[in-house]
């Protein structure tokens, strides 16, 4: 399953991902019209800055998602086609058990609509073969949309490349 991963060393905190998320989930899908919409488009992606560290906070679509397990109405569920954890507003009763169970704090209560809100992984975009809006908008490629195996392979190759450039490191080649 593909997921959005973040490389915090590349994130500048520009918030392009936040804007792209809000526009993608707006009615108009237009940045200039979205800012005037009522209700304001939700932002499911939040850039956090603390102690010199910048990170993008969003739903990680956990394999064993506690929010899915705890939802009494199955308003939050795993899409069988994309394997993303998504939600159905019309089934949500606003108990916010999902928000309390999320270990990442990525689900928040929408007090105006009395429902929970979370990143849907741009489920409809993914179904149509596109990448999530936040990843597409990131100017530094801090957000990566890939599967775990590909990410691990990339990290191994990067480590080997950096070790091979070092004059003090000796690698054992089999």
* 66 and 48 in a common domain: no
On whether the CB atoms of residues 44 and 84 are closer than 8 A, the answer is no
Q: Does residue 173 belong to any structural domain of this protein?
A: no
pLDDT greater at residue 17 or residue 42: 17
Tell whether the model's pLDDT for residue 38 goes beyond 90: no
pLDDT-derived band of residue 174, with 50, 70 and 90 as boundaries?
very low
pLDDT-derived band of residue 164, with 50, 70 and 90 as boundaries?
low
pLDDT greater at residue 130 or residue 55: 130
* Global confidence as pTM: 0.81
The per-residue pLDDT for range 84-101, each reduced to its tens digit, is 999 998 999 999 999 999
Q: Which residues contact 151 (CB under 8 A, 6 or more apart)?
A: 5, 144
- The whole-number pLDDT of residue 166 equals 59
Q: Does residue 161 belong to any structural domain of this protein?
A: no
* 65 and 49 in a common domain: no
Domain of 88 in residue numbering reads as 59-118
* 141 and 106 in a common domain: no
DSSP 152: H
What CATH number is associated with residue 111?
3.30.70.20
Mean pLDDT of 58-76: 95
Half-sphere exposure of 143 (CA within 13 A, CB side): 30
- Look at 49-53, 89-93, 113-117, 124-128 and tell me which has the smallest mean pLDDT: 49-53
pLDDT-derived band of residue 73, with 50, 70 and 90 as boundaries?
very high
Q: 43: which 2 tokens? A: 């932002």
CA of residue 87 relative to chain centroid, distance: 14
Q: How many domains does the chain have?
A: 2
pLDDT greater at residue 46 or residue 64: 64
Q: Does residue 137 belong to any structural domain of this protein?
A: yes
The per-residue pLDDT for range 144-163, each reduced to its tens digit, is 999 888 878 877 877 777 76
Q: Does residue 91 belong to any structural domain of this protein?
A: yes
Q: Which residues contact 87 (CB under 8 A, 6 or more apart)?
A: 75, 76, 77, 116, 117, 118, 120
């Amino acid at each position: 399953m593909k997921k959005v991963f973040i490389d915090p060393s590349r994130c500048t905190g520009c918030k392009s991902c936040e804007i792209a998320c809000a526009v993608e989930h707006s009615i108009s899908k237009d940045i200039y019209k979205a800012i005037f919409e009522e209700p304001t488009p939700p932002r499911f992606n939040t850039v956090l800055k603390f102690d010199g560290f910048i990170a993008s906070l969003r739903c990680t679509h956990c394999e064993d998602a506690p929010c899915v397990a705890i939802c009494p109405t199955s308003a939050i569920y795993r899409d069988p086609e994309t394997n993303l954890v998504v939600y159905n507003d019309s089934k949500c009763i606003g108990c916010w058990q999902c928000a309390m169970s999320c270990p990442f704090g990525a689900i928040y209560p929408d007090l105006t609509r009395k429902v929970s809100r979370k990143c849907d992984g741009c489920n409809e975009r993914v179904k149509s073969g596109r990448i999530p809006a936040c990843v597409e908008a990131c100017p530094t490629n801090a957000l990566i949309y890939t599967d775990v195996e590909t990410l691990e392979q990339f990290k191994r190759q990067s480590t080997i490349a950096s070790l091979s450039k070092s004059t003090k490191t000796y690698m054992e080649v089999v």
